Amino acid sequence: MKDKNFDELKITGLRINYLHVCKRKLWLFDRGIRMEHTSNMVLLGSLLQDYYYQRKERKNILIDNLIQIDIIDNESIREVKYSNKLKEADEAQLLYYLYYLKRLGVSKKGILNYPKIKRREELILTEELEKEVEKDLEEAKKVLSLNKPPKVEKKTFCSKCAYFEFCWS
């Protein structure tokens, strides 16, 4: 992907995460439609990060006012999540961060941390995975340019989603 295209497509990591959770959720969130507990999982992840990783100095690094990385050290970047129920979305978000950093000339490995369940997963950005990130960026652009939100689609986690009432009542 050329730099110009990337500059036009780049979005926040949370939006990449939502793309994988539910395209409708991504669209609603992007339009500023927020329900009360929309960011509870984000908040819980942040509290866990403070609790379990007090000695890590470089935390919550904001890059280009766009992506916020939970923890950075010499070798890796880490994302701290409350639960692994949406692991695929967490992976996509972390791979996007690795991709973003690579474009800035920084190569690191990624670590997903789920301290509550004592799990950790390492991710390395391969050429194949870079293509996946680029596909995500294109797809997110398509969703965000829709005039109306994508249709409701029943998902197993709908009942736990902040937009449940909005979508299903």
Binding residues among 130-159 for ligand SF4 as defined by CB under 6 A: 152-153, 155, 158
Work out how close the CB of 17 gets to ligand SF4 at its nearest, in angstroms, rounded to a whole number. 12
Of 36 and 57, CB closest to ligand SF4: 36
CB 29 within 8 A of CB 38: yes
Stretch that binds ligand SF4, among 39-47, 54-62, 120-128, 160-168 (CB under 6 A): 160-168
The size of the interface with ligand SF4 (CB under 6 A), counted in residues, is: 11
47 residue type, one letter: L
Question: Can you tell me the distance from the alpha carbon of 140 to that of 21, in angstroms, rounded to the nearest whole number?
Answer: 12
Should residue 167 be labelled a site residue for ligand SF4 when binding is judged by CB under 6 A?
Answer: yes
Q: Cα separations (Å) of 25 from 45, 112, 151, 152, 163?
A: 19, 23, 10, 9, 7
Question: Can you tell me the distance from the alpha carbon of 18 to that of 13, in angstroms, rounded to the nearest whole number?
Answer: 9
**Beta-strand runs (E) in the chain:** 59-63, 67-72, 76-80, 109-114, 119-123
- Given 82, 99, 114, 163, the residue binding ligand SF4 (CB under 6 A): 163
Of 24 and 108, CB closest to ligand SF4: 24
Work out how close the CB of 158 gets to ligand SF4 at its nearest, in angstroms, rounded to a whole number. 3
Should residue 51 be labelled a site residue for ligand SF4 when binding is judged by CB under 6 A?
Answer: no
Should residue 88 be labelled a site residue for ligand SF4 when binding is judged by CB under 6 A?
Answer: no
122 phi and psi angles, rounded to 5 deg: -100, 140
Question: Which structure tokens are listed for 130?
Answer: 């870079």
Work out how close the CB of 10 gets to ligand SF4 at its nearest, in angstroms, rounded to a whole number. 23
**Residues forming the site for ligand SF4 (CB under 6 A):** 22, 24-25, 152-153, 155, 158, 161, 163-164, 167
